[in-house]
Amino acid sequence: MTHQNFEKAREAMILSQLQPSGVVDPTVNAAYFSVPREMFVPEDLRGVSYLDGNMQLGHGRFLIEPIIFASMVQDAGLKKTDKILDIGCGTGYSTAILSCLAEGVVALDENEKLLHTARQNWENLGYQNISPVLGRHQDGYRNSAPYNAIFINGSVAACPLDLVEQLALSGKLYCVMMEMGKSTGVITVFSKTEAGQLISRALGDATAPYLVGFEPKQEFEF
């Protein structure tokens, strides 16, 4: 596909996937149009990079369906002064979207090869407000906390309480909650009240692979 064709595919993704599903915020749509998704997937998948599904990146990792992450981003209502933690950034696409909407993004991944690819992608495309971090997904990155928003690129089996603690007072954590044994999860927003009470809100059903570090814990049977 040519550059022009990729632009048309990007526009079609917004018009046929994001907007009909309720993602109509013009700043979010503009961010999605400005980031070339095809640059963040394996070369042999670039021709189908705008389809509405989870896309394999290799190393057992996936780029989650566009509408799932876009729904999270729109709900967050990000401001140019916000600091974001993007967990499981993979090859860097989600981080690139967030970098268009926030002051700075900490991009965390525990796969060194994927993070290296992400850094190359960001450098090639000129993104300069991204701080890459190599580390375990479930640990987050306390050194730069608190965050206005935290995004997890995949499903989790239980509320990641350690990550909620890294939020700013009015911050929000976004993930797909999918209980063990279920095939469909729910896009979920976690936040804390001023009194420290944990509250959650559902944005809609979604299907996404578990992100490494957030899989269901296996129970031993005797």
Q: What is the pLDDT of residues 57-88, one digit of tens each?
A: 989 899 999 999 999 999 999 999 999 999 99
| Chain centre to alpha carbon of residue 28 | 14
What is the per-residue pLDDT for 180? 85
- From the list 98, 106, 130, 109, the residue with the least C-alpha distance to 34 is 98
Domain that holds residue 121: 3-206
Lowest mean pLDDT among 3-7, 18-22, 63-67, 81-85: 3-7
Indicate if the pLDDT at residue 93 is higher than 90. yes
In this prediction, residue 1 carries a pLDDT of 62
Q: What is the dihedral of CA 46, 49, 55, 60, to 10 degrees?
A: 30
Nearest-angstrom CA–CA distance, 123 and 135: 21
Rounded to the nearest 5 degrees, what angle is found at the Cα of 212, between the Cα atoms of 112 and 37?
A: 65
Reply yes or no on whether the pLDDT at 221 is more than 60. Answer: no
pLDDT of 43 higher than 60:
yes
190 inside domain: yes
Query: Does residue 16 lie within any of the structural domains?
Result: yes
Residues 155-180: pLDDT tens digits? 999 999 999 999 998 899 999 999 88
pLDDT for residue 222 is more than 50:
no
In a domain, 211, yes or no: no
Task: Tell me what pLDDT residue 219 has.
Answer: 60
Helix, strand, or coil here: 112?
A: helix
Q: Is there a domain that residue 221 lies in?
A: no
Residues with Cβ < 8 Å from 52, sequence gap 6 or more?
13, 17, 65, 66, 67
Q: Is residue 89, in this structure, part of any structural domain at all?
A: yes
Domain contains 151: yes
In a domain, 218, yes or no: no
Average pLDDT, the chain: 94
Provide the 8-state DSSP code for 14.
Answer: I
For residue 192, pLDDT beyond 90: no
Q: What are the C-alpha distances in Å from 24 to residues 11, 17, 71, 72, 74?
A: 13, 11, 10, 13, 8
What CATH number is associated with residue 50? 3.40.50.150
End-to-end CA, the chain:
56
Number of structural domains the chain divides into: 1
Question: 217 pLDDT band (50/70/90 cuts)?
Answer: confident
Whether the CB-CB separation of 191 and 171 falls below 8 Å is answered with yes
In a domain, 214, yes or no: no
Is the per-residue pLDDT at 150 higher than 60?
yes
